[in-house]
Chains A and B, each alone.
Chain A
């Protein structure tokens, strides 16, 4: 504080002061940037993608089984099924594992272990998705091929890689939710003779459920939106997958693979795929907001 006073004195007295109200206006405009960008994204993706959906028809576009862009056939149902399957698989891998790690960090880990583990989780979040994809291609895909047969490039491989990639999201948000619970919950339960695990399973997890739900929803959003890692391990076949070991293509990978060379209606159809993806993500965001709102009102 003293430093502040001295610095103030050191400045020439006649220095013109910034007009406070203009500062406020500028800051308000700056603060609106992210919302403006979001609006621009929506406008430009929709402007580019909606016309072709209108031309093909919503039903034919969403539920059409054939994607043959060079032949003018644009149905994205195989990609929708692919996205749903891989996302469900990622949640099946990532949610139990992530929740267990969150429970470990809040309930079981010695303080030093928890402190050492946190930067590791952060690092897991920082590894680029291409690296995950490459590692999946080199390690996971051959492992699946050797164990179960088939090409290895599969929904299973995508689910494992995405399951790992959403771990940091699931862990950090569930951990926050578990930590936010009043200690009295746990003390009361233990005082009544419940074991530590009974307390966790029957009391702490249910009490933190809206936070855990938020974690799952945000993890889901990440899994739906991930592109580069999935491109490398999924096989990218345009057909409705019939098993965990079948190759598939998601909405994101379809855009990622074909944008490089698409033009005309083909490119528009990829933007239309982007429209579908954008709508899904906004719904996921809203669901997450609802879950967070419920937590705040608790």
Chain B
């Protein structure tokens, strides 16, 4: 009897665990398929290369694509050197101690800060206190702060995965620490660092709450770093929430999903290369 009971429990549990995995995959598939099926028919060259008319009820999304690219570029250009530098310091220039715990606490906490808080901060600090206004620069700086922890964490992991012997050989040849880092360690860790940067791109492209409060929602094509802009994610949000156009919302969502898919494929490719190098 007991034997039967625990075998049956095992069977039920096994089925439930498999069911959970399938359900998770099904949800992912349903979300992506739904948006792509409803949205892709509207994604035409005119949609991608045209300007929105009537608040986005018609026309295209070119200004929002440009805005997304500009904002993401600013964020990556600022966050990458800071993130990689932090990772280098943590792995190569110091021992574990009070200072590294302090830096790690700051990084982990920053990673947990909700995007709406970044939005409030970016608004009051970059937009108002520094006088940058709603602009690509304000939005990009806010996003840089948001993605910094991701880049630090992935870079640190990638640098730690570089075998110690690389450093030993480099030092034994008389290289300084900085030479060792820049010529032996970083090139080997590059794919891992790239993964972090790509994940940062993904977060920047999809972020809405922080961006809407710092870069604004202007539909004009931005002309400088100080122009306000509207990203694809913000455009998608406004179209859907204000019920401006379901078709245009689906189409924008489809482009957003395609971008996210491409970014994920790239990140996986970079990770695969890192694994190949570490072997």
Contacts and interface: CB of A to CB of B under 8 A. Distances in A.
Interface of A: 1, 4-5, 7-8, 17-18, 20, 23-24, 26-28, 30-38, 40-41, 44-45, 48, 96-97, 100-101, 103-105, 107-109, 117, 119-124, 126-135, 137-139, 164, 167, 171, 195-198, 200-201, 218, 221, 224-228, 231-232, 252, 255-256, 259-260, 270-271, 274, 277-278, 281-282, 284-285, 288-289
A4 B183 contact: yes
B184 A4 contact: yes
Contact of B88 (A18, A27, A200): A27
Interface of B: 6-7, 9-10, 13-14, 16-21, 23-25, 27-28, 30-32, 34-35, 81-82, 85-86, 88-90, 93, 102-103, 105-110, 112-121, 123-125, 129, 145, 148-149, 152, 166, 169-170, 173, 175-179, 183-184, 199, 202, 205-209, 212-213, 233, 236-237, 240-241, 249, 253, 256-257, 260-261, 263-264, 267-268
Contacts of B249: 134
Interface centre among A32, A36, A228, A270 (most CB of B within 10 A): A228
7 contacts: A20-B177, A38-B113, A45-B117, A100-B17, A126-B206, A200-B13, A259-B119
Given A4-B183, A120-B28, A138 B34 contact: yes
Please report whether the interface of chain A is mostly helix, strand, loop or mixed according to DSSP. helix
Nearest to A194: B6
Contacts of A33: 82, 86, 148
A198 B30 CA distance: 34
Contacts of B30: 139
A108 to B, nearest CB: 6
B35 A197 contact: no
Nearest to A121: B24
Given A31-B90, A45-B124, A127-B257, A139 B113 contact: no
Contacts of A41: 113, 117-118, 121, 145
Contact of A129 (B7, B108, B208): B208
Please report whether the interface of chain B is mostly helix, strand, loop or mixed according to DSSP. helix
A117 to B, nearest CB: 7
Nearest to B22: A104
A249 to B, nearest CB: 13
Contact of A4 (B32, B173, B177): B173
Given A34-B106, A135-B34, A260-B212, 12 more contacts: A26-B85, A27-B85, A28-B93, A30-B85, A35-B105, A41-B118, A104-B18, A120-B24, A127-B28, A195-B6, A271-B120, A271-B124
